[in-house]
Amino acid sequence: MRRDGFLKGVAALAVAGALPLPARAAPRLRITIPANYGGGWDATGRALGQALVEAGRADSVSYDNRGGAAGALGLAHFVNSSQGDANALMVMGAVMLGGILSGKPPVSLSQATPIARLTSEYNVYVLPANSPFRSLADVIAQLRKDPGSVKWGGGSRGSTEHAAAAMIAGAVGVDPSRINYVAFRGGGEAAAAVLGGYVTVGGSGYSEFAEFIRSGRMKPIAVTSPQRLPGVDVPTLKEQGIGVELGNWRGVYGAPGITAAQRKAVTDMVLAALATRTWREALARYDWTPAVLAGPAFDAFVVEEFEVLRATMLKAGMA
C-alpha cells in the first residue's frame, strides 16, 4: 500500500473512533487528600480513585496527601496548584469547614468548585474500659457538676467530635465554652488517648474505634446518628434525651476556574464511580453511610453547614 493511502486509512479509523488515540483515553487524575496517610479522608480519596478507574473514567489516579490544620493546608495547596485543571479533585468534608472557621486560612473553599457529597460517617463516643463511668448519663452528671473535669478527646479543633461535644453540653444546660476538649491529629491518636486513660470520653468515626469496641477495650455510650447504626448496638444521643444529631460527611471538590461544562463532566464522572463494586465494598468496609448530593443542592448544603457550624463554634469559643 502506498504511504499516502495508509495515512488516509489511519485517519479514517481515527474519525470512526476505532483507534485508542490519546485524545480518547481516560484521563490521568490527581486527587488531593488534605490529610496524612490513614484516616477517613485518605480512605475516601483512595477508594474514590479506585472506583474511578473501575468505572473507566480514569486511566490512572495519583494521590497527594497534604495534611495539617484540619484540611486547610491541603485546601491552600489545591487552590494554588490546580487552577483550571479538570483532572484535579480534592477530598473534603465537615472537618475542613471547622478548620476554615477556626484557622482562617488565606484561601477560601469558595475558590474551588463543588462537585458532590459522598458519604456521612457518624461519630461514636466511648469510655475507656476501666472508666469509673458506665454510661452517658454518668458523664452528663459529672459534666453538670464540674465541666472542666470531663476531658473530651477527638479530632482537630472544630472537628465534628468537637462540635458535637459543645452541642451536647448546650443541650444539657452547660455553657459550651466551658468544655475541656483535647484535640488530636486523627483517630489513631484519639484512640491511644482513650486506651491510655488520658481523656474521659473519646469521639471519632465508628470505623476508627470499631476494633477496640469489639475487643472490649472501649465502651461505647452514644452515636450521633439519627437512628442506631446498622448492626451496631449503641444508642443514639436522641434516644438518651439529648437532641443532637451530627454526621461527619465527606465530599469532593473540583479545581478553581473550571467551566460549567467541565464541572458537569467531573460530576458525572464521580457519580459513575459511586455505582461501582469497588465503591460499594468501601462503604461496607468502613461503615460509611451513602449520602450522595450534587449540583445546586450540594452548593446550598455547604453554605448551610458553614452557618450551623459557625454558630456552634462561636458559642463554644472555637471561632
| Whole-number pLDDT of residue 70 | 85
pLDDT grade, residue 9 (50/70/90)?
very low
Q: Are 200 and 131 in contact (CB under 8 A)?
A: yes
Closest CA to 224 of 235, 214, 211, 209: 235
| Whole-number pLDDT of residue 295 | 96
The one-letter amino acid code at 9 reads G
| Whole-number pLDDT of residue 275 | 98
Taking residues 224-250, what's their average pLDDT? 94
Taking residues 211-232, what's their average pLDDT? 94
| Whole-number pLDDT of residue 231 | 87
| Whole-number pLDDT of residue 214 | 95
220 three-class SS: strand
Taking residues 122-131, what's their average pLDDT? 96
Question: What is the C-alpha separation between 109 and 4, in angstroms, rounded?
Answer: 54
Percent residues over pLDDT 90 in the chain: 72
| Whole-number pLDDT of residue 305 | 93
Answer yes or no: is pLDDT of 187 > 80: no
Answer yes or no: is pLDDT of 24 > 70: no
Q: Are 30 and 88 in contact (CB under 8 A)?
A: yes
| Whole-number pLDDT of residue 140 | 98
Answer yes or no: is pLDDT of 11 > 70: no
Determine phi and psi for 224, rounding to 5 degrees: -95, 15
Q: Are 116 and 251 in contact (CB under 8 A)?
A: yes
Taking residues 166-183, what's their average pLDDT? 95
| Whole-number pLDDT of residue 29 | 97
Answer yes or no: is pLDDT of 96 > 90: yes
| Whole-number pLDDT of residue 319 | 64
Place of cell 465530599: 251
Stronger pLDDT, 61 or 207, i.e. the higher one: 61
Answer yes or no: is pLDDT of 110 > 50: yes
Per-residue model confidence as pLDDT tens digits over 243-288: 999 999 999 999 999 999 999 999 999 999 999 999 999 999 988 9
| Whole-number pLDDT of residue 58 | 96
Answer yes or no: is pLDDT of 3 > 70: no
Question: What is the C-alpha separation between 319 and 311, in angstroms, rounded?
Answer: 9
| Whole-number pLDDT of residue 200 | 98
Interacting residues of 30 by C-beta distance below 8 A, sequence separation 6+: 61, 62, 63, 64, 82, 85, 87, 88, 89
Answer yes or no: is pLDDT of 8 > 50: no
